[in-house]
Amino acid sequence: MEMYSPPGDNRETFNQLSFLTLFTFPMSLSTIRLIISGCFVFVAFGGVNAAAERPNVVLIMTDDQGYGDVGIHGNQVLRTPNLDRFAREGTQLTQFYCSPVCAPTRAALMTGRYFYRTGVIHTSRGAARMASDEKTLAEVFQDAGYVTGIFGKWHLGDNYPLRPQDQGFQESLVHKSGGITQPPDQPNDYFDPLLWNNGHPVQAQGYCTDVFFTAAIDFIKQSRDVPFFAYIATNAPHTPLIVEEAAWKRYADQGQDETTAKVYAMVENIDENFARLLETLDALKRRENTIVIFLTDNGPQQKRFNGDLNGRKSMVLEGGIHVPCFVQWPARLKGGSKVNTRHAHIDWLPTLIEATGIQADLPNKIDGVSFWPQLTGKQREIQPRNLFFQVHRGLEPEPYHNAAVVGERYKLVMNVGSFGKARLTDVPEKQRTGIQLFDLSEDPSEQNDLAEQMPDKVQQLTKAYDGWFADVKASRGFSPPAILLGSRATDSTLLCRYQDGHYEGERHLGWKVEVREPLLVQLRLNQEAKPGEKLMVQWLGNVTAYDIEQPKQPVTVLQLAPGTGRLDVWLQSEGKPREFIKDNSTKGDVVVSPVRVADSD
């Protein structure tokens, strides 16, 4: 059994990777490192000649890069010459929208559906898992004979069958959770990060953004005559703001605060890698027939220049949801153009289906609308519609809680800034913004509230919102999918407390899991037991206490009955109340490993 362990001896004594000793990897470590340091090894992909004539697609989405984080949008400090040139020479979508935070945008982008339909609710604590029966953009392209790859951030599920390799990506190099350094992969770093290549841990060499673009470039080179779909989803410039000191100090020397300087240095690095990608397509003579899309997932996390837009990440104000989006396809799209009609993340899936001419079997309702006619200039106007945005913490979305309706001209904003609270009643009454109405055609900065002057418009948009909320709720009842235990597709399952745990307030109360048949498992808890504590396990309403023989890594073996429910594992001394872990660390994570008896024959 070939195991992965991180270099260096200054890691935590009980770090997460040593905790994963129950995982097995059929590929040798030397082979895995070869894959990262050089070119990727792929299975051979076949395709008919007609498929080879289809356009390739490269979709680049950065993390927490706002509308104002490109030079072409009026930023006089940030250097993004390559993105600026790409936008000027291509098509600029001047009114493009995403969700206010990470995972919701990614779910909508991948499915063409509002994220509430997919099982995703927000970004962590059991709320960032997309149901496996959602058909993704990768699956659509794979069905059409494309080779598909993801490089960077997935953030829609780290366990089978929710991983990118389960959802249509034949090649994947990703980090887990919502960002590098977040649980379960701790400790970790933007330099030489721990990543996951097709489900196997690899120690990459170099800066994370460089690594992701290099892997994508290798993937493109290996695709030969087969059409490819490459999804490059950088984790930069998401926090923590880790970048070369010399790079950010150049911006600090120009008077930028350290936080902004680091963000700008990270974006400048993205811009340089973007140029490398385009140069590769040119050298391979594949640029002409490749659709290249650049967009970001939401507004900026921190306060800084954002054009004239109000608000930032997590807010449904324009600064949180109105993002850069540029596209080029030299073979079909006229350069130097702008599309000024309003479009959103949900629209890219149907647009790419129409643009590429592929046949797609879409089993679920699609909310997005193709804007291919607008891209080609065949049609300038669009059918009037409303776009809906909402997100907040907790597992039970509430009406009017950090929500917005963006209409043809007017925008309804409901209790903006309440993202961090599970319930609207948790927001102090004086801090609630209530219902606001803005005329985006005259007031794109959302400074003049018209709600009192235009009650009929407020009523109209509120009625539209009520219908939308009821509709998306009916899709899955706002229920994230359970984590499947016991599948033979994976040897063990890591239950991450921070990313996938079920919380009530600040109390972690286990994980929503599914067991399809009686399952004998070993549970290993990432928490050192104190003298007198027992390992407590709750499943399907039954609580059992187990003696602990290995205090540093409490382990037990038990039979799980079939069912779907919350599996909870914790330490507790008899006669004392349960102590809840409050930090966002790997402490309290659990590895579940099926105990399988070899076939007698």
Q: What angle do CA 266, 216, 111 make, to 5 degrees?
A: 90
The ranges of the chain annotated as CATH 2.60.120 are 483-594
β-bridge mates for residue 343, sequence order: 96
Give the max Cα distance, the chain. Answer: 80
Beta strands in 166-289 (DSSP E): 171-175, 194-197, 200-203, 228-233
**Do 187 and 12 touch, CB atoms closer than 8 A?**
yes
Distance from C-alpha of 117 to C-alpha of 264, rounded to nearest angstrom: 35
Return the structure tokens found at 87: 């936008």
Residue 294 in contact with residue 232, Cβ under 8 Å? Answer: no
Closest CA to 209 of 172, 238, 187, 248: 238
Q: Phi, psi at residue 294, to the nearest 5°?
A: -125, 130
Contacts of 247 (CB under 8 A, 6+ apart): 265, 268, 269
For the chain, give every residue range classified as CATH 3.30.1120.10.
Answer: 387-476
What's the one-letter identity of residue 226?
V
Task: Give me the chain's average pLDDT, please.
Answer: 91
Instruction: Classify 483-594 by CATH class.
Output: mainly beta
- Detail the DSSP E strand segments found in 88-206: 91-97, 147-153, 171-175, 194-197, 200-203
Question: Which helix (DSSP H) or strand (DSSP E) does residue 58 occupy?
Answer: strand 56-62
Element containing residue 213 per DSSP (H, E): helix 208-222
- As a whole-number percent, the residues of the chain with pLDDT over 70 amount to 91
List pLDDT tens digits, range 338-384.
999 999 999 999 999 999 999 999 999 999 999 999 999 999 999 99
Long-range (24+ apart) CB contacts under 8 A made by 22-28 are: 22/491, 22/492, 22/522, 22/524, 22/591, 22/593, 23/201, 23/491, 23/492, 23/494, 23/591, 24/491, 24/492, 25/1, 25/200, 25/201, 27/2, 27/200, 28/2
Q: For strand 290-296 and strand 56-62, is the pairing parallel, antiparallel, or unpaired?
A: parallel
Tokens of 515: 């067991």
The kind and range of the H/E element at 546 are strand 542-546
For residue 596 the two structure tokens come to: 């399988």
Q: Which residues, at least 6 apart from 283, have a Cβ–Cβ distance to it below 8 Å?
A: none
Tell me the C-alpha distance between 313 and 102, whole Å.
9
Span 387-476 CATH architecture? 2-Layer Sandwich (3.30)
pLDDT value, residue 53: 86
Do residues 548 and 582 make contact, with C-beta atoms less than 8 angstroms apart? no
Burial (CB count <10 Å: 0-12, 13-18, 19+), residue 463: exposed
Q: What pLDDT is attached to residue 2?
A: 28
Start-to-end C-alpha separation, the chain: 23
Residue type, 158: D
CA distance 505 to 522: 29
Q: Please give the C-alpha separations between residue 429 and each of 413, 415, 433, in angstroms, as whole numbers.
A: 17, 10, 9
| CA torsion angle 20 24 30 32 (round to 10) | -80
Helix ranges (H only) for 228-338 are: 245-252, 258-283, 318-321
Domain 16-376 has CATH 3.20.20.70: no
DSSP of 381-425: ------EEEE--SSSS--TTSSEEEE-SSEEEEESTT-TT-SSGG
> Residues 273, 58: contact at Cβ < 8 Å?
no
Q: Contact, 159 vs 484, CB < 8 A?
A: yes
Q: What is the DSSP letter of 518?
A: -
Neighbours of 373 (CB within 10 A): 15
The conformation of residue 103, written as its DSSP 8-state character, comes to: H
Residues of the chain with pLDDT under 50: 1-18, 20-52, 599-601
pLDDT at 135: 98
List every span in the chain annotated with CATH 3.40.720.10.
16-376
Q: In terms of C-beta density within 10 A (0-12 exposed, 13-18 middle, 19 or more buried), how is residue 453 classed?
A: exposed
Residue 236 and residue 265 in contact, taking contact as beta carbons nearer than 8 Å: no
State the Cα–Cα distance between residues 173 and 116, nearest whole angstrom: 26
